[in-house]
Structure 1
Amino acid sequence: MTETVVLGQRGDERQRPAPPRYGGLLGGLVRTARPRQWVKNVLVLAAPAAAGELSSAPALGRLALVFVLFTACASAVYLVNDARDAEADRAHPVKRHRPVAAGRVPVPVAYAAGGALGVLAPLAAARLCSPAVAALLTAYLVMQLAYCLALKHVLVVDLVVVTTGFLMRAVIGGLALGIPLSRWFLITTGFGALFMVSAKRYSEAVQMAGKPGATRALLTEYTTGYLRFVWQLAAGVAVLGYCLWALEEGGVPHTSVLPWRQLSMIAFILAVLRYAVFADRGTAGEPEDVVLRDRALACIGLVWAAMYAAAVGNW
């Protein structure tokens, strides 16, 4: 007999099979660490890519290590979060299938695994990378654990904390290679992250409206109108920051075949507009899911990446 999960979208319902039960304790721990969300940690490449520093093997090796360490820290947070929210997750139509909530991973084991990763990752960073990288990973862990314990219940602060987590991912790559970060990079990355985070919260608020089992208590305190305002504002600032970067000469020599910096604005704006379609519908869940399930958005992203690479490489 197939078990199904009912998900609300704009007042209608759709069904999907419940997640399979496999892998025992180890498989449950891996699933709790959210492998599908590890793709977010590719942001560690953002600053080196913006600076054109991805051409050397030592740099790529260092970034691969930073990716693994940040993934370990993020996994530690997920493990602790699911252990702490196990009871509340059991009341949620989807989250009740998470290994900890479903009882396939005991709560003490999840806490122990999360604690071990949270201690070992910064220590490894201090030994294999630099004290600055270790300090940023430690700050990320402290901030995210504070979020799990208290900050996720504070209006606006919860949005800022999650957005800062994305920004830290983007910053740590430059920190690992000693690359200075431009103001436009920080503005575009920060507000781009806020756009996706607030769009996700808006979608959750729309889908869970009037339904029991919402595990984000703040969803009952935010209005959909406010969350819509936040993602629209963030999208506008991100686009503005990117356009100011693209239009800034900054002493870049004009040896490119085409003005790739300026042309990349078109693809960037199209990507934001396409993502906003899902935000407006209330179906902008996890950013990686939105990108992977929409071919048009994925293609626009690839075109933008190619243009951006050409601009940075001065092709």
Structure 2
Amino acid sequence: MELPKQYVDLPLKKNVLALFIIQLRPKQWTKNLLVFAALLFSLKYANFYMFSKAIVAFFLFCFVSGCVYILNDFVDREADRKHPEKKYRPMASGVLNPYIAILFGVVLLAFSLIVAYYFNPLFSLVLCIYFTLNVAYSFRLKHIVILDIMIIASGFVFRAIGGGLVINVPLTPWFLLCTMLLALFLAISKRRHELYLLENSRGKHRKVLEQYSSQLLNQLNSIVTTATIISYALFTFTSGHTIYLMWTIPLVIYGIFRYLYLIHMKDKGGSPEKVLLEDKHILLTVLLYGISVAGILFFLE
């Protein structure tokens, strides 16, 4: 079989290594930046050791999430061949042996859990639960309507919890609730984009899509969007930090509204990490939010 176009330029001797890296989906590692959330809200008291631990935690989540992607692609490789975009993935396209990819994933997972245990046993447990839940998702839970998007969203919450555990910083319930709601927003948007992209053949790629409609997903997004904004506003007042965090509320509202615009007017939203990197408005909003939070907590708290 010929290599798909994105693999053609890879040096032959480096094809396997390059395919392993591609299989880990580094473009999706932006999701794991949530690991730094606890560090951001503790910036005033942070030190070099906390920064280094957070960086290690970020890469461990990248590796473990990569192992999940390996398993997902292994299980879905036949269905992915019918998808207009996913058919170019290494296993679906046939350029990477699925069983070699699984072996690589097992080794990488074991390495990640051992390193995580060295930093914090509870962090290792979080990674283990995260991986186990996603395995259950790959084999069964992805076929259960509503529960499937909740499992996707829970992955973001585990990232936030893991980031707090590795630097020994407690996370408030409001922060975790905001994370869960925002993650639900992204997961619902992802399903809506899949409905639009696959149209009449949606059930052939993902059976659970037959249980959704654009109207239902729009209604769910309306509920989650409202709850997210209200929860974040309450978080800024009850987080235990300075009340001036409320100045970041407009950035959160604009970011959510911009994403809704991209979903409904540009038919995007299937890949949050792609939207983050490609839409200048979203990227600038995220950067301004991070800078604003850091500045407020460092200088005004």
TM-score, length-scaled by structure 2: 0.91
Q: Which moved more, 1:183-192 or 1:87-96?
A: 87-96
Once residues 202 and 53 of structure 1 are traced to their aligned partners in structure 2, the CA distance between those partners, rounded to angstroms, is 40
Q: Of the candidates 25, 28, 48, which is equivalent to residue 16 of structure 2?
A: 25
- Say how many residue pairs are matched: 293
Q: Name stretches of at least 5 consecutive residues in structure 1 with no aligned partner.
A: 4-16, 253-258
Alpha carbons 2:57, 2:166 under 8 Å: kept: yes
The one-letter code sitting in structure 1 at the alignment partner of 2:176 is L
Residue 306 of structure 1, CA deviation: 2.0
Residue 63 of structure 1, CA deviation: 0.9
The one-letter code sitting in structure 2 at the alignment partner of 1:245 is F
**Aligned equivalent of 1:268:** 252
**Aligned equivalent of 1:234:** 224
**Aligned equivalent of 1:289:** 274
**Aligned equivalent of 1:203:** 193
Is residue 2:262 matched to residue 1:278? yes
Once residues 239 and 80 of structure 2 are traced to their aligned partners in structure 1, the CA distance between those partners, rounded to angstroms, is 51
TM-score, length-scaled by structure 1: 0.87
Residue 311 of structure 1, CA deviation: 2.6
Once residues 110 and 272 of structure 1 are traced to their aligned partners in structure 2, the CA distance between those partners, rounded to angstroms, is 37
Spell out, residue by residue over 1:187-207, the C-alpha distance to the aligned partner (whole angstroms, 9 max, x if none).
Answer: 111101111111111111112
User: Where do residues 136-147 of structure 1 align in structure 2 (5 Å cutoff)?
Assistant: 136-147=126-137
Residue 291 of structure 1, CA deviation: 1.9
Once residues 159 and 190 of structure 2 are traced to their aligned partners in structure 1, the CA distance between those partners, rounded to angstroms, is 19
User: Where do residues 12-91 of structure 1 align in structure 2 (5 Å cutoff)?
Assistant: 18-21=5-8, 22=10, 23-52=14-43, 55-91=46-82
**Aligned equivalent of 1:244:** 234
The one-letter code sitting in structure 2 at the alignment partner of 1:267 is L
Is residue 2:176 matched to residue 1:190? no
Once residues 60 and 239 of structure 1 are traced to their aligned partners in structure 2, the CA distance between those partners, rounded to angstroms, is 29
Once residues 45 and 289 of structure 1 are traced to their aligned partners in structure 2, the CA distance between those partners, rounded to angstroms, is 19
Alpha carbons 2:195, 2:202 under 8 Å: kept: no
Is residue 2:102 matched to residue 1:111? yes
Once residues 106 and 261 of structure 1 are traced to their aligned partners in structure 2, the CA distance between those partners, rounded to angstroms, is 50
Tell me, what secondary structure is at the counterpart of 1:91? coil
**Aligned equivalent of 2:297:** 312
Alpha carbons 1:53, 1:59 under 8 Å: kept: no
Structure 1 residues 138 and 260, CA gap change in structure 2 (3 angstroms): same
Residue 280 of structure 1, CA deviation: 2.0
Residue 244 of structure 1, CA deviation: 1.1
Spell out, residue by residue over 1:93-129, the C-alpha distance to the aligned partner (whole angstroms, 9 max, x if none).
Answer: 2211111111111111111111222222112211x21
Structure 1 residues 280 and 18, CA gap change in structure 2 (3 angstroms): farther
Alpha carbons 2:174, 2:239 under 8 Å: kept: no
Percent sequence identity over matched residues? 28
Residue 249 of structure 1, CA deviation: 8.2
Q: Of the candidates 142, 146, 150, which is equivalent to residue 160 of structure 1?
A: 150
Structure 1 residues 109 and 307, CA gap change in structure 2 (3 angstroms): same
Tell me, what secondary structure is at the counterpart of 2:56? helix
- The structure with the largest helix share of the pair is 2
Spell out, residue by residue over 1:239-281, the C-alpha distance to the aligned partner (whole angstroms, 9 max, x if none).
Answer: 11111122448474xxxxxx74222111111111111111223
Alpha carbons 1:200, 1:279 under 8 Å: kept: no
Tell me, what secondary structure is at the counterpart of 1:93? coil
Tell me, what secondary structure is at the counterpart of 2:268? coil
Once residues 177 and 226 of structure 2 are traced to their aligned partners in structure 1, the CA distance between those partners, rounded to angstroms, is 11
Once residues 180 and 148 of structure 2 are traced to their aligned partners in structure 1, the CA distance between those partners, rounded to angstroms, is 15
Q: Name stretches of at least 5 consecutive residues in structure 2 with no aligned partner.
A: none
**Aligned equivalent of 1:9:** none
Residue 169 of structure 1, CA deviation: 0.7
Structure 1 residues 277 and 214, CA gap change in structure 2 (3 angstroms): farther
Once residues 251 and 124 of structure 1 are traced to their aligned partners in structure 2, the CA distance between those partners, rounded to angstroms, is 32
Residue 313 of structure 1, CA deviation: 2.1
The one-letter code sitting in structure 2 at the alignment partner of 1:98 is R
CA-based RMSD: 2.1
